[in-house]
């Protein structure tokens, strides 16, 4: 009897040791079709991708020069000064695991520094497993040589193709992607294990809220013959990554991108969802406006609403939150401010979270893409300034209406307060609005000029809370 008791207690301790206890609690979780924080407030994430410069050596979103940490401080300050509360931080598999089974600690240590720099500025991090065209051997980025067919491993590595997207339909890329989705030589297993490793690495960093495992997944050659089969492979992969990272900490979110063919809007909004807890749909949205083209003189908002609406329909079908993790327009285009205003007005109408593409501080571009919101010296480009806009970061209740007009310099937000939530609603207000004419009904409020954040605490009247602000005009 005594022996059985000892064995029973030992088994309990063993199970406890093996259970995913997690480190510090993740700050964001999924609740039905919204994201909420630890206080139960509705979370809106507005941020940027960091960044296109990461796609080629030395694989960071800025030119580090002789002093990486000093360059990082400049970069992180520039991102924070835009009012962003999230970054989609590119991680390049080629840089992280250049030799199979051997992680490059020098690269990952610097990635750690970037995570900590953002966390120290109150910015959350989505780790983005980025790839385009699978490899730099094909004028893209992403995967290391050991995942490629041997005959392609000696090709020149370049990033100087203006029309690079067509490479997805070339034999080397189709074959390489098919090897991955078919798990040839267990390369997909290795990728899943990489995410398990990252989950362990960041289990005590709550600013890392989750992982987007595969940027803009595209089919291998078999996937074009069986598109449904491609999605079965894709979702199985997502499910395996989720099992790996949530086996370390069940609080990690998994951000599921969809095939890049569907960037203008989901083709099948009735598609079954991956079987994943804490799942967030993470589509991309690009249209002709991204490339400086307009379909009509009156603007392209109907086109935007239709495409974005198809993505939202899929999110409703899955009953999950949605964050658009890529969209944008080159600040080099004259009409970029109009495009940004139109797109974000739809985001505001639908209370959409998103990360704009992209933020780099570098004199060198990837495949001639002029997409960074910053100049090579770190200033915000004039046509990117509309991205610095007001939004409710945390809402202690149910969001009702969000409106902002850059032209009129006016902002309004209303919500139905949940009095069971003690934490205040937090709203990011750029200085011209925060120091302007502010009217709040149904609540007490304060504005911190340093953080540019308004804190709103509802009163006992029981009605909705409305915040209105008009720019100071200084």
pLDDT at 474: 62
Q: CA 17 to CA 455: how far, in whole Å?
A: 41
The confidence score (pLDDT) of residue 289 equals 85
Question: What pTM was estimated for this model as a whole?
Answer: 0.94
What's the rounded mean pLDDT across residues 9-28? 49
Name the one residue in this structure whose structure tokens are 């797109």.
Answer: 343
CA 108, 356, 32, 425 dihedral sign is positive
* Residue 196 neighbours by CB under 8 Å, 6+ apart: 244, 245, 247, 248
Over 70: is that where the pLDDT of 60 sits? Answer: yes
Task: For residue range 315-369, list pLDDT tens digits in order.
Answer: 999 999 999 999 999 999 999 999 999 999 999 999 999 999 999 999 999 999 9
Band of the pLDDT at 370, cuts 50, 70, 90? very high
The answer on pLDDT for 90 being more than 80 is yes
- Region of 344 please: left (phi>0), alpha (psi -120 to 50) or beta: alpha
Half-sphere exposure of 118 (CA within 13 A, CB side): 28
- Cβ-count burial 14-25 (b if 16+ within 10 Å, e if not): eeeeeeeebeee
Q: What is the pLDDT of residues 179-222, one digit of tens each?
A: 999 999 999 999 999 999 999 999 999 999 999 999 999 999 99
The pLDDT score that the predictor gives to residue 294 is: 67
Rounded average pLDDT over 233-243: 98
| Residue closest to 76 by CA, chosen among 105, 110, 33 | 110
Round to whole Å and give the CA distance between 129 and 91.
Answer: 5
The mean pLDDT of the chain is 93
The predicted pLDDT at position 288 comes to 85
Among 113, 327, 262, CA closest to 201: 113
Question: Residue 16 pLDDT more than 60?
Answer: no
Which pLDDT belongs to residue 291? Answer: 80
Res. 12: pLDDT tops 70? no
Lowest pLDDT segment from 254-263, 293-302, 377-386: 293-302
């Amino acid at each position: 009897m005594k022996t059985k008791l000892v064995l029973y207690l030992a088994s309990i301790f063993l199970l406890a040791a093996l259970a995913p206890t997690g480190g510090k609690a993740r700050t964001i979780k999924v609740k039905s079709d919204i994201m909420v924080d630890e206080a139960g407030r509705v979370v809106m994430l507005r941020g940027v991708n960091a960044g296109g410069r990461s796609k080629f050596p030395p694989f960071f979103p800025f030119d580090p020069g002789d002093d990486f940490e000093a360059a990082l401080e400049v970069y992180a300050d520039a991102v924070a000064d835009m009012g962003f509360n999230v970054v989609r931080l590119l991680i390049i598999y080629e840089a992280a695991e250049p030799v199979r089974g051997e992680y490059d600690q020098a690269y990952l240590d610097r990635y750690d520094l970037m995570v900590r720099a953002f966390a120290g500025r109150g910015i959350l991090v989505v780790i983005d497993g980025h790839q385009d065209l699978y490899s730099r051997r094909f004028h893209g980025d992403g995967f290391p040589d050991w995942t490629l067919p041997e005959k392609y491993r000696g090709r020149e590595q370049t990033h100087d193709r203006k029309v690079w997207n067509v490479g997805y339909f070339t034999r080397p890329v189709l074959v390489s992607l098919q090897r991955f989705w078919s798990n040839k030589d267990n390369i997909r297993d290795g990728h899943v294990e990489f995410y398990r490793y990252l989950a362990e690495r960041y289990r005590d960093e709550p600013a890392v809220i989750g992982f987007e495992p595969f940027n803009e997944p595209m089919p291998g050659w078999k996937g074009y013959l069986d598109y449904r089969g491609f999605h079965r492979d894709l979702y199985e992969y997502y499910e395996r990554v989720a099992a790996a990272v949530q086996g370390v900490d069940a609080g990690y979110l998994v951000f599921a991108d969809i095939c890049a063919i569907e960037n203008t809007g989901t083709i099948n909004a009735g598609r079954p969802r991956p079987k994943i807890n804490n799942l967030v749909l993470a589509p991309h949205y690009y249209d002709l406006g991204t490339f400086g083209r307009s379909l009509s003189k009156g603007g392209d908002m109907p086109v935007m609403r239709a495409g974005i609406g198809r993505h939202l329909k899929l999110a409703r079908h899955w009953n999950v939150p949605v964050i658009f993790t890529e969209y944008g327009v080159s600040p080099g285009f004259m009409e970029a401010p109009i495009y940004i205003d139109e797109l974000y007005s739809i985001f505001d109408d639908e209370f959409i979270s998103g990360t704009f593409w992209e933020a780099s501080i570098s004199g060198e571009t990837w495949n001639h893409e002029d997409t960074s919101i910053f100049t090579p010296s770190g200033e915000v480009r004039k046509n990117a300034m509309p991205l610095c806009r007001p939004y409710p970061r945390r809402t202690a209740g149910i969001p009702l209406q969000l409106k902002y007009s850059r032209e009129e310099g006016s902002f309004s937000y209303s919500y139905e307060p949940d009095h069971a939530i003690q934490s205040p609603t937090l709203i990011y207000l750029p200085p011209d609005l925060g120091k302007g004419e502010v009217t709040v009904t149904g609540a007490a409020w304060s504005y911190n000029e340093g953080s540019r954040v308004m804190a709103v605490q509802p009163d006992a009247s029981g009605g909705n809370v409305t915040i209105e602000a008009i720019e100071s005009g200084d």
